[in-house]
Amino acid sequence: MKRIILACSAGMSTSLVVTKMEKEAAIRSLDYLIYAIPEQNLRDELQTYGNDIVVVLLGPQVRFKLVANKKLTDEYQIPIAVIDSVAYGTLNGAKVLDQALGLLH
């Protein structure tokens, strides 16, 4: 199954966004495994599931780690971006999902 990963400082605050994204993906009949992890676990996640991960989104609170993590995701040719702060703050799962899907094209 194709995976969309949200990486944040602890993997917890982003869980609400994940829930909203999952609901939106279901409405659109999209089949993605969407989940949050602590940003420091991204390297291990890529090593384990690199072939299945289609996009990585960083929580706004770890935006300063984008450059370092881009080096990791580039090895797997996986796009990465920082989640739109407004969409994140308003728990707009549809907008965050759109952002993730937009990185695939």
Contact 31, 1 (CB under 8 A): yes
Which is the catalytic residue, given 5, 6, 8, 46? 8
Largest separation between any pair of C-alpha atoms in the chain = 34
pLDDT at 10: 78
Please give the residue range of the domain that contains residue 77: 2-102
What string of DSSP letters covers the chain?
A: -EEEEEEESSSSTTHHHHHHHHHHHHHTT--EEEEEEEGGGHHHHHHHHTTTEEEEEE-GGGGGGHHHHHHHHHTTT--EEEPPHHHHHTT-HHHHHHHHHHTT-
Query: What does each of the 105 residues of the chain score in pLDDT, given as a tens digit?
Result: 999 999 999 766 789 999 999 999 999 999 999 999 999 999 999 999 999 999 999 999 999 999 999 999 999 999 999 999 999 999 999 999 999 999 997
Whether residue 8 lies in the annotated active site? yes
Number of domains the chain contains: 1
pLDDT tens column, 5-19 = 999 997 667 899 999
CATH of the domain at 63: 3.40.50.2300
